[in-house]
Each structure stands twice: as C-alpha cells, then as structure tokens.
Structure 1
Amino acid sequence: MLQRFFIFCSGADTDILKDCSAGENTKYAGIGATVFFTAVMAAIAGSFALYTVFDSVFTAIFFGLIWGLLIFNLDRFIVSTIKKRDNFFDELIQASPRIILALIIAIVISKPLEMKIFEKEINQVLLTEKNQMTLDNKDQLALQFTPNIDAKTSEILSLKEEIAKKEIAVNGLYDIYISEAEGTSGTNKLGKGPVYAEKRQKHDAALADFKILKEVNEAKISEAEKEIAQIKTDYETQVASTQPIINGFDGLMARINALNKLPWLPSFFIFLLFLAIETSPIIAKLLSPKGAYDYKLAEQEGTVQSWVAQQKAQRDILKTTDIEVNNRVYGDIAEEQAIYDYKRKIARKLMEEQADAFYKKQKSML
C-alpha cells in the first residue's frame, strides 16, 4: 500500500511497473518518497512564512497545505518528464531546466525554515533596529517641533531680560533719590528738598511703568510657556502614535532582511541541504542505469510513434488518391454535351429573370 502510494508520487506508469522487477518498483518508490517528503517540508515552511504575514494559524495552515500540494505537483511533474537516453549529456541537457526549477523551489522552501531556526537571532537584530528606529523617529519629529519651542523660549528670555533691565533702572533711580535725601550725592544737602522730590517723582513714575511692564510681560511669558507645554504634548502624542508602526516592524520582509544580516555560512548549509533534497529525485534518475521500466516505456512510446506515423502516411495516400479520382470524374463530366446544354438553359432563364426584375424596379420608380 505504502509502496504503491510512493510510486504514484514518483509519477511512474504503474501499468508498466507491474511487469517489472521488485528492484524497479523499489527504485521508483524511493524517488516518490523523496518527492512526498519534500512537499511536506514545503508545506511546513510555507505555513510558517504565511503565519508571519497573516498572524493566523488556520489561514497559515490552509495556504501552507496548498503550497505543499503545488510543490508536490511540480516535483512529480519534473521527475516524471525526465526520460532515460543513451547519452548522459543529453539527459543532463534535458534535465537542466528542471534542475534550475528545483533550485528555485529549494530557495523558496529553505528561507522560511531558516527564519524559524534562527528566530532568536533575528529577534535580536529586529530589536536593535527597532530601538534605532525609535531614536531616529524622535529625532525626525523633533525637527518639526524644536524650532517652535526655541522661538517661544527665545521670546520668554527676551521678555524676562526686558523686565530685568527695567528693574535695574528703577533700582538705580531709587538709590539716587535715597542718596539725595542722605546728602551723600547730588546737592550733598541732608534732608528732603526740592531736588529730592523731583528725583523721587521720577523714580515713582519709573516704578509705575515697571509694574505695568512686568504685568504685561509676565502674561506674555505665561502664554508662551503654555504654548511650549502644548507643543511638547503634541510632540509626545506624535511619538506615541508612530511607535506602534515601529513596534509592528516584524513582517516577512523585515525578517528576511534581518536574516541576511546574520553570518551567511549557516544559512548557506541549510540551503544546500534543501537543494540536495529537492534535486535528489532528478539526480537519482540521471545516475541510475536504464532499467526494465525505461526500456518498456521507450518501447511503448516507439509503438505509439510508429502507429501515428503509419496513420499519417495512410491519410496522405488517401487524400492524394481522392484528388486524382475527383479530377478524372469532373473531367469526364465536363466533356458531356447534355451537361453543357442544361447549364446553358439555366443561365438563360436566370438572365431573363434578372432583366424582368430590373424592368419592374425601374417602372416603380417613375
């Protein structure tokens, strides 16, 4: 039962194999087993690859099975279409397109399994890339918000500097009128005279202006600080909204790129393993000598080719003979006077009817 199934997988003609030795059956059962298990590995690899895309077990298994069946059908077709010839190089040329196809299939099968085998290393590479992308993202977003923050900060510093200068000027006027009252400067007269009153009045006016300026500038500073806080909040919101995109940087292409950044030698050996598995049925057929199955298959195909060639030759002879007979028959008929007179009569009648129809049409138009 199992042997028959593997023979079916090899694509061999079971009717021919029935008349062959047990060794021939075993050979093709081994080729079919290789085809079958290659398809199983393809289904597993395809399921894992699709799971990284759809993140759904049932979807991945369903399409993985379809992918495995596709690979099974391709491999079975490749093996079944290779025919044994008398020259090895002719066989190699015949199998070269199939070997190239097997190479492509091996790459497609091995890559998802490589990602599963090196999953921890790939996760480490992706983590490093995500951290760097987070920093780069913050820097890029900061380029949008930092100029506004710097402008507002510069405005606050300018307003505070204006307050400080005005305060220094008011304090200077205060020192002047106090010194005048103490007699240590100005008129150098002790007491509160007219000069003192004038300087005191000038200080009081400057103090009143300072209070108004301070109140206005502090309101502007408070508004600017609120705007800075809002800009920072917007920046943090933007960072938080873009972070899920970075966290989701874990798709199939990202993992393939991460795998390519790992040392190439382990991946290369895994690829060679699958290449050997995928090409083993073809190589087995190329290296194996001609067996009873091959001779019987060649005999059967030769019989069909001879029968087709014979049928074609007979059809060509029949066609040529029929043409010659028809030519002779119509040649004899053409020489008969009765046929000539009959066709002359029919032609005359047809011309008379055409003339009558033309006359009636012309008369109806008048």
Structure 2
Amino acid sequence: MLKQFFILCSGADKNLLEGCSDGEQTKFVGIGATVFFTAVMAFIASAYALFTVFDSVYPAMLFGLVWSLLIFNLDRFIVSTIRKRDSFSSEIMQATPRIILAIIIAIVISKPLEIKIFEKEINTVLLKEKNAMALNNKKEVANYFKSDLDKNKTEIASLKAEITNKEKEVNTLYETYIKEAEGTAGTKKLGKGPVFKEKIAKHNLSSKELDTIRKNNLAKIAVLEKTSKTLKNDLDKKVNETQPIIDGFDGLMARINALNKLPWLPSFFIMLLFLAIETSPIIAKLLSPKGEYDFKLEDIETALKATIEQDKYQRTLLIKTSAMMHDKVYADIAEDKQLYDLQRKNTVELLEQQSNNFVEKQLKTL
C-alpha cells in the first residue's frame, strides 16, 4: 500500500513500472517518498508562516494544506517530466529550469521553519526593537506636545515672576516708610510726618495692586496648569494608544528582518538542507543510469512517434494522389464533346437572360 502510494508520488507510469525489477521500483519509491515528505515540510512551514500572520489555527492549516498540495504537484511534475537522454549535457539542459524552480521552492519552504527554529533568538531581537520603537514613539509624541507645554510653562513662569516682582516692590516700599518713621533713612526725622504719609500711601497702593495682580495671575496660572495637565494626559493617552501597535510588531516580515540580523551561517545551512531535499529527486534522476523503466518508456515513446510520423506521411501521400486523380478526371471531362455542347447551350441561355434583364432595368430608369 505504502509502496504504491510513493510510486504514485513519483509520477511514474504505474502499469509500466509493475513489469520492471524490484530494484527499479525501489528507486521510484525513494523518489516518490522524497516528493511526499517535501510536501509535508511545505505544509508545516506555510502553516506556521500563516499562523504568525492570522494568529488563528484554522486559516493557517487550510492555506498550509493548499500550499503543500501545490508544492507536491510541482515536485511531482518536475520529476516526472525529466527524461533520461543519451547525452548528460542534454539532461543538464533539460533539468536546469526545474533545478532553478526547486531552489526557489526550497528557499520559500525553509524560511518559515528557520523562523520557528530560531524563535527565541528572534524574540530577543524583536524585544530590543520594540523597546527602541517605544522610546522613539514617546519622543515623537512628546515633541508633538512640546510647543504647547513649553508655551504654558513660559506663561506660568511670567505670571509668577510678575507676582514676585510686585511683592519685592511692596516689600521695598514697606521698608522705606518704616525707616522714614524710625528716622533711619529718608528725611531722618523721627515720627510720621508728610513724607511718611506719602510713602505709606505708595506702599498701600502698591499692596492693593499686588493683591489684584496675585488674584488675576493665580487664576490665569490655575487655567494654564489645568491646560498643561490636560496636555500631559493627552500625551500619555497618545502613547498608550500607539503602544499596542508596537507590541504587535511581530508579524512575518518583522521576524524575517529579525532573522536576517542573526548570524547567517546557521540559517544558511538550514536552507542548504531543504535545498538538498528539494533537488534530491532531480539529482537522483540525473546521476542514475538508464534503467529498465527508462528503456521501456523510451520504447513506447519512440514507437508512438514512429506511428504518428507514418500516419502523417501516408496522409500527405493520400492528398497528393487524390489531387492527381481529380486533375486527370477533370482533364478527361474537358475533352468530352457532348458535355461541351451542353455547357455551351447553358452559357448562351444564361447570357441571353442577363442581357434581357439589363435592358429592362435601363427602360425603368428612363
């Protein structure tokens, strides 16, 4: 049962191979097994690759099955269409396009499995990239809100500075009228004279201005601080909104790029392994000598080709002979007097009828 299945996978003619030796059958069983297991590896690779894209088992399994059947059909076609020739160079020329196709298939199959094999190393690379992306994202979002935040800080600092300057002015006026009352500065007369009253009036006026400025500026500062808080909340919200995108940066392309950042030698040897598996049926057919199956297949093909060429030649002769016979028949008919008189009579009648019809049409136009 298994032997018949692998022979089916090899693309060989089952009926023709049954008449061959066990060794010849074993060779095609090995080729068929290679084709089958290559398809199995293609299923595993494509299913895993699609799982990293959809994060769902069922679509990945479905696509993996379709992809593996496609690879199986291609490999089976490649192996079954290679024919043993009398010249090795002609066999190489025949197999070159198929080998190129096999190399492409091997690369496509090996890449998802490399990603799975080096999954831990790839996750480390992705983690570093995600951290770097998160930092850059925070910087970009902060730069986006920076102008508004800096403007608010500047305005708050300006309003606070205005209050501080006014407080210094009030304190200076306070010290001035106190020293005037004590007689230690100004007029240096002890007591509350006119100058003292003038200076305390200035202090009181400045103190009232300070209260007004403090009240207005503190109200403005409260509004600005509230705006700054809102901006900071928006900044944090923006960072939190974009973080899931960064966390989800582990798709197929990201993993392939991360794999390329790892040492290339292990990945290269894995690709060579799949390349060897994929091209092994073709190489086996190229290196193996002509076997019993090949001779039988060549005999059937050459016999069919000879029959077709014979039929084609006979049809060509038949056409030539038929043409010659018809030429001779019509040549004999052309010299028959009775047929000539009949044809002449019919032609005269036809010309008379055409002439009468022409005259009738001319009379109608007058």
The amino acid across from 2:345 in the alignment is D
Q: Structure 1 residues 355, 306: closer, same or farther in 2, change over 3 A?
A: farther
1:345 to 328, 346, 349: 349
Q: How far apart are residue 359 of structure 1 and its match?
A: 5.1
Aligned length: 362
Whole-angstrom CA distance in 2 between matches of 1:50 and 1:223: 53
Aligned to 2:58: 58
Question: Is 1:24 equivalent to 2:24 in the alignment?
Answer: yes
The amino acid across from 2:105 in the alignment is I
Q: Structure 1 residues 164, 98: closer, same or farther in 2, change over 3 A?
A: same
Gaps of at least 5 residues in structure 1 are none
Question: Which residues of 2 match residues 268-283 of structure 1 at below 5 A?
Answer: 268-283=268-283
Aligned to 1:220: 220
| Matched position secondary structure for 2:200 | helix
Q: Structure 1 residues 355, 109: closer, same or farther in 2, change over 3 A?
A: farther
| Matched position secondary structure for 2:267 | helix
Q: How far apart are residue 94 of structure 1 and its match?
A: 0.8
Give every structure 1 segment of 4 or more consecutive aligned residues whose post-TM-superposition deviation is greater than 6 Å: none
Question: Which residues of 2 match residues 1-366 of structure 1 at below 5 A?
Answer: 1-334=1-334, 336-353=340-357, 355-356=359-360, 362=365
Q: Deviations over 1:22-64 (max 9, x none)?
A: 1111111111111111111111111111111111111111110
The amino acid across from 1:27 in the alignment is K
Structure 1-normalised TM-score? 0.95
Whole-angstrom CA distance in 2 between matches of 1:31 and 1:168: 98
The amino acid across from 2:238 in the alignment is Q
Q: Deviations over 1:181-226 (max 9, x none)?
A: 1111112111111111111111111111111111111111111111
Q: How far apart are residue 315 of structure 1 and its match?
A: 1.4
The amino acid across from 2:151 in the alignment is A
- Percent identity (aligned): 59
Whole-angstrom CA distance in 2 between matches of 1:250 and 1:72: 30
| Matched position secondary structure for 1:41 | helix
Whole-angstrom CA distance in 2 between matches of 1:342 and 1:334: 16
**More deviation in 89-98 or 324-333?**
324-333
Q: Structure 1 residues 114, 353: closer, same or farther in 2, change over 3 A?
A: same
For the aligned residues, what is the CA RMSD?
A: 1.6
| Matched position secondary structure for 1:84 | coil
The amino acid across from 1:348 in the alignment is E
The amino acid across from 2:245 in the alignment is I
Structure 2-normalised TM-score? 0.95
| Matched position secondary structure for 1:192 | coil
The amino acid across from 2:77 in the alignment is F
Q: Structure 1 residues 351, 307: closer, same or farther in 2, change over 3 A?
A: farther
| Matched position secondary structure for 1:83 | coil
